[in-house]
Amino acid sequence: MNGQLDRIRRESLKQKVVTAEEAASWIQDGMTLGLSGFTRAGDAKAIPEALVKRSQKDSFKVNVFTGASLGHDIDKLFTEAGIVNKRLPFQADATMRKGINNGELLFVDHHLSNTSELIRGGVLPQVDIAVLEAVAIAEDGSIIPTTSIGNSLIFAEHAKSIIVEINVAHSEEWEGVHDIYDPGVLGDREPIPLMHPDERIGTYGIPVDPDKIIGIVLTEEYDSFSTIDQPDEETEVMAGHLLEFLRSEIAAGRLTKELAPLQSGIGSQANAVLHGLLDSEFENLEVYSEVLQDSVFELIDAGKVKSASCTSITVTEERMDILRNNLPFYKEKIVMRPQEISNHPEIIRRLGTISINTALEFDIYGNVNSTHVTGTKMMNGIGGSGDFARNARLAIFVTKSLAKKGAISSCVPFVSHVDHTEHDVDILVTEQGYADLRGLAPKERVELIINRCAHPSYRQQLWAYYEEAALRGGHTPHILEKALSWHIRLSETGTMRESKEEVTQS
Amino acid sequence: MNGQLDRIRRESLKQKVVTAEEAASWIQDGMTLGLSGFTRAGDAKAIPEALVKRSQKDSFKVNVFTGASLGHDIDKLFTEAGIVNKRLPFQADATMRKGINNGELLFVDHHLSNTSELIRGGVLPQVDIAVLEAVAIAEDGSIIPTTSIGNSLIFAEHAKSIIVEINVAHSEEWEGVHDIYDPGVLGDREPIPLMHPDERIGTYGIPVDPDKIIGIVLTEEYDSFSTIDQPDEETEVMAGHLLEFLRSEIAAGRLTKELAPLQSGIGSQANAVLHGLLDSEFENLEVYSEVLQDSVFELIDAGKVKSASCTSITVTEERMDILRNNLPFYKEKIVMRPQEISNHPEIIRRLGTISINTALEFDIYGNVNSTHVTGTKMMNGIGGSGDFARNARLAIFVTKSLAKKGAISSCVPFVSHVDHTEHDVDILVTEQGYADLRGLAPKERVELIINRCAHPSYRQQLWAYYEEAALRGGHTPHILEKALSWHIRLSETGTMRESKEEVTQS
């Protein structure tokens, strides 16, 4: 306990130590909470858990704002306890997803760079209490984050009060990896002075008025580990297609083998595609991303990646062990930033990132759905994919061409929800191949998308749709009566296939 | 002619003067042309006309890249002549529109800030010949643009050859209004050092290697004048709703009566809404927009707008007369920039613009279609609306709630094409009222959109759709079988209305 108290380096704050139960008791019905945490990393742990326990006796509801998804089943427990009124800007929990789709709670699906603007601008309800995980509180009261920063800076700045969870499971060696920068009020801003992914422009800690810290809870608990699937045969083939595309860009004189700052979305497929760079000729790579997953660390270990910028580190247990045991080595190569900066349009456009994100489905003209199953049910949220795709040098979307054992084609006539419009999607990659859509009119895109990215067993059906639509004319030919028929058929018959022919799997 | 030659201040270039016919003869089949011109302003005039004449004898096709739409019926004449292979990034001509939808030519619908990146990055075919209108060529060979800049800088930099049309109908007094700045190669950039709409960061002219200028054509012809409709009763009501919203932002402490830099899209409705500021209490306004239409000059004359930044000035004949006769007065208040800078995400986000653009239709969850009639037929293109909406402080979309005498509702269950996703649309305004969608979950948006923005005569039909959809559940409830039924009904019966009841017009 004494060792733990040493983490509170501002003497006057030591008296603020309370139990998680006491801190949780301060949270009132109707409040808005700002919780640290981004894709399972650096989340406040003890107070949310204590709050769930409290709900067994008390009746209350709160708004829950975070960086992105949380670990420790907190979103699951929150949903089961029925204590969430509104949740934003991202989640990735099966139980919460079900709750959102059943109308048990409200979910607002933000671009992850945007929530901070809405808080700073006073558009969202003010955060009553920010609950932020930290490795330490510095002498000046500033909060040293752990394995993510997410929205913690903006929560700390705008919350009425702050509770800190000092988690001694995270080594104090994490201090110095963070780079805290606030761009300032809209309309009264300097340019963000970041020209390269490895530069530092801010402070190590989150500056706060120490009087706003109303409580400190001491914890010792690891982050939930990443649960991504390891690369499989199909994702390896996808990675191969991506490498083939990157090589063609080099051949065309548009890239060098140092490529450009890489961003890869959360999830198994984007991770696997990045993993594919391991055995490539590309070198001296830089990463400017949202989340670092296992693959980035593999690339660092292999000497392929020289620096990586992120807002969160979400890795498997095995990878976290290596990271923990070699933190000084990795710290030299990593900078963690607020998600507003990791995802900022100004920086992404300036750096010219190569952005790789996962699509749920895409259509024959290149529109992408990232969020809604059959246009109605929320999956996780758009996350940072829009922040990156809209401003990247190369907006690449990856997905396997089939899902549900071939009952679902990722390539459809008309996506059932649009998160990334035809104006913003540059390259599509599936295990079948890649389609480079840049500079092409809609009708030029169709052939590439169907013949290179759709699964062969669906190509005939896609061509039949397009050819019938093309007879009607138009810049983007569609048959509105049939545009969503694939999704309707899936609901009614369990498959998007028109005939009962043998399901062919790749 | 001597007076005209004085406009070529670099002596050695005077020998490059040729007729438009001769210059047009240099254009070969298969070439890519980069023409100056943005929303009818500052377009190359004589050479395109000569090229159309040449097509009566010669058979050829070219790619036509511009800033945005052209005047002088050039797009119409090009289409009728059948000489365009691919056109980008924007057009607004009825004949060309028909040609695009009939498949006579290919059209690529870019965000207007993006074309320059694709040219700079070598993604689009290299421009063979840039044809740029100018008021003069300076001693160092740099080209002084006229009433628009558009993509002229990037065309001049990357074209193999340049032909200049010196148009003496434009006074040399235009010199000094332009501010030419190139952000540099992706990944090797400084921040764009623009912090306020009225700042200058570049040069007066477009710097070029004088040897690239292969010909100069002397012309004397005005721009085509703007053909926008004057504000009517409904657009005045819409402007009133927008003012009401802006006042509520002031009341909430989120804006002052100086507002924030204003952007307004091209077209009658956005112009009319801006016109509504004339009799308001707002003052010391700044404009950071793409095109200045009549309304901005009215606001300057009224002392409401103190400075305006743009890439093009497109006004009525009456307004152009006033502008021409008082150019020194207006020049002090106006800066013209390349469209890459007027529409740049970095600047738009930094300034925090209030962006007002026109929607073709919107749906009950806030997705906006700006481009495609019934999801298939191209209207004009997305233009700059995406550049602004995606990065603005306030992304506002305006449209009348009815079209075609009530046969079309602008509010539909599911838009037939998505240009602006639910993640990017903040405020919808019709003559019925406004809906503030910020921070709201999809289900929260429905009531505001239907009850405040849809026309009363369609509300019952919209509610019937939503209520049936909501029974099925989901984050964004839809009935896919009926989602596009309004557009299908319109095609089949000539109206979106379900029953034959009397058409009510507002």
Mean pLDDT score of chain A:
96
How large is the angle between the packed helices A317-325 and A294-301, nearest 10 degrees?
40
Q: How far is CA A409 from the centre of its chain?
A: 24
* Residue B411 one-letter amino acid: C
A3 pLDDT above the threshold of 80: no
Separate counts of helices (H) and strands (E) for chain A: 19, 26
Q: What is the mean pLDDT of residues A345-361?
A: 97
Task: Give CA separation, A136 vs A143, A208, A310, B360, in Å.
Answer: 6, 13, 20, 53
d(CA A388, CA A270): 14
| Residue in chain B nearest A487 by alpha carbon | B480
In terms of Cβ atoms closer than 10 Å to its own Cβ (0-12, 13-18, 19+), residue B306 is middle
- Among A290, A340, A361, A431, the active-site one is A290
Mutant choice from B104, B287, B475, B490 vs A, greatest count of A C-beta within 10 A: B475
Which residues from chain A sit within 8 angstroms of residue B123, using beta carbons? Answer: 254, 438-439
For A323-371, strand residue ranges (E) read 334-336, 354-358, 361-363, 368-369
A28 pLDDT above the threshold of 80: yes
Mutant choice from A348, A423, A485, A489 vs B, greatest count of B C-beta within 10 A: A423
Which residues from chain B sit within 8 angstroms of residue A191, using beta carbons? Answer: 191-193, 195, 346, 350
pTM of the model: 0.97
Each residue of A283-329: pLDDT tens digit? 999 999 999 999 999 999 999 999 999 999 999 999 999 999 999 99
Do A478 and B346 count as a contact with CB atoms less than 8 A apart? no
- Per residue of chain B (506 residues), what is the pLDDT tens digit? 557 899 999 999 999 999 999 999 999 999 999 999 999 999 999 999 999 999 999 999 999 999 999 999 999 999 999 999 999 999 999 999 999 999 999 999 999 999 999 999 999 999 999 999 999 999 999 999 999 999 999 999 999 999 999 999 999 999 999 999 999 999 899 999 999 999 999 999 999 999 999 999 999 999 999 888 888 999 999 999 999 999 999 999 999 999 999 999 988 888 888 889 999 999 999 999 999 999 999 999 999 999 999 999 999 999 999 999 999 999 999 999 999 999 999 999 999 999 999 999 999 999 999 999 999 999 999 999 999 999 999 999 999 999 999 999 999 999 999 999 999 999 999 999 999 999 999 999 999 999 999 999 999 999 999 999 999 999 999 999 999 999 999 999 999 999 865 444 44
Strands B427-430 and B394-398: parallel
Look-up of token digits 């979309």: B397
In terms of Cβ atoms closer than 10 Å to its own Cβ (0-12, 13-18, 19+), residue B357 is buried
Contact at 8 Å (CB) between A414 and A483?
A: yes
Which residues from chain B sit within 8 angstroms of residue A475, using beta carbons? Answer: 100-101, 107, 372, 376-378
Look-up of token digits 């899936």: A490
Contact at 8 Å (CB) between A338 and A154?
A: yes
Each residue of A462-498: pLDDT tens digit? 999 999 999 999 999 999 999 999 999 999 999 999 9
Contact at 8 Å (CB) between A74 and A92?
A: no
Helix (H, G, I), strand (E, B) or coil at B488: helix
Task: Give CA separation, A387 vs A178, A289, A357, A383, in Å.
Answer: 21, 11, 11, 8
| Residue in chain A nearest B387 by alpha carbon | A390
d(CA B5, CA B2): 5
| Residue in chain A nearest B115 by alpha carbon | A439
Which residues from chain B sit within 8 angstroms of residue A124, using beta carbons? Answer: 439
> What is the ipTM metric for this complex?
0.97
How large is the angle between the packed helices B74-81 and B46-54, nearest 10 degrees?
20
* Residue A484 one-letter amino acid: L
Contact at 8 Å (CB) between A374 and A491?
A: yes
Look-up of token digits 């028929």: A485
Each residue of A144-160: pLDDT tens digit? 999 999 999 999 999 99
CB pairs under 8 A between A and B: 215
| Position A268 confidence tier, pLDDT thresholds 50, 70, 90 | confident
d(CA B72, CA B221): 10
| Residue in chain A nearest B392 by alpha carbon | A186
Q: Chain A: give the shortest CA distance to residue B351, in Å.
A: 4
Q: Which residue in the set A193, A351, A417 is minimally distant from B476, CB to CB?
A: A417
Each residue of A241-258: pLDDT tens digit? 999 999 999 999 999 999
Task: Using a pLDDT cut of 70, give the percent of chain A over it.
Answer: 98
For position A2, what pLDDT does the model report?
58
Do A374 and B123 count as a contact with CB atoms less than 8 A apart? no
Each residue of A32-44: pLDDT tens digit? 999 999 999 999 9
Task: Give CA separation, B11 vs A185, B353, B377, in Å.
Answer: 50, 44, 50
Q: Chain A: give the shortest CA distance to residue B6, in Å.
A: 40
For chain A, the 3-state helix, strand and coil shares in percent, each to the nearest 5, are: 35, 20, 45
Q: Which residue in the set B101, B189, B469 is minimally distant from A350, CB to CB?
A: B189
d(CA B245, CA B432): 13
Report which of A156, A171, A145 is spatially closest to residue A210, judged by C-alpha positions: A156
Q: Which residue in the set B102, B107, B125 is minimally distant from A473, CB to CB?
A: B102
In terms of Cβ atoms closer than 10 Å to its own Cβ (0-12, 13-18, 19+), residue B14 is middle
In terms of Cβ atoms closer than 10 Å to its own Cβ (0-12, 13-18, 19+), residue A176 is middle
Rg over alpha carbons for chain A, rounded to the nearest Å, is 23
For position A271, what pLDDT does the model report?
84
Helix (H, G, I), strand (E, B) or coil at A383: coil
Look-up of token digits 């003496």: B168
- Cis omega before residue A89 (within 30°)? yes
For position A502, what pLDDT does the model report?
47
Catalytic residue positions of B, numbered: 290
Instruction: Please provide the size of chain A in residues.
Output: 506
Do A440 and B124 count as a contact with CB atoms less than 8 A apart? no
Helix (H, G, I), strand (E, B) or coil at B211: helix
Do A488 and B474 count as a contact with CB atoms less than 8 A apart? no
| Residue in chain A nearest B441 by alpha carbon | A108
A367 pLDDT above the threshold of 60: yes
Which residues from chain A sit within 8 angstroms of residue B102, using beta carbons? Answer: 473
d(CA A353, CA B437): 30
Look-up of token digits 């495609």: B372
For position B505, what pLDDT does the model report?
43
**Run of H or E residues at A433:** strand A433-436
Q: Which residue in the set A346, A367, A444 is minimally distant from B106, CB to CB?
A: A444
d(CA B92, CA B381): 8
Backbone angles phi, psi at B353, to 5 degrees: -70, 155
3-state secondary structure string across B149-209: CECHHHHHHHCCEEEEEEECCCCHHHCCCECECCCCCCCCCCCCCCCCCCCCCCECCECCC
Do A345 and B349 count as a contact with CB atoms less than 8 A apart? yes
Neighbours of B325 (CB within 10 A): 10
d(CA A384, CA A151): 13
Task: Give CA separation, A187 vs A194, B124, B427, in Å.
Answer: 19, 34, 19
